[in-house]
Amino acid sequence: MANISDILYTKNDVGKNVYRKRTTYILTVEEDFLAENADKAQDMSMNTGLDYDKIKSNLVETKGV
């Protein structure tokens, strides 16, 4: 499986290498649902979740560059 990066580069970057740093974070998401019973709360929870595209592209902020 190939890893694809969205790094932008210019002619000044020719000859440079791309290095990847991997950091693992443990994420816990808690949600509250106001429902008549546990089954309805479970049904409501099926309509929520993480937007994985945002995690892959919008979660990291560039600082000090």
The string of DSSP codes covering 13-57 is: GTT--------------------SSHHHHHHHHTT----HHHHHH
| Segment 12-45, tens digit of pLDDT | 999 999 888 888 889 888 899 999 999 999 999 9
pLDDT of 48 higher than 90: no
Q: Which residues contact 16 (CB under 8 A, 6 or more apart)?
A: 9
Q: Which of 7, 11, 2, 25 is nearest to 65 (CA)?
A: 7
At residue 65, the pLDDT reads: 60
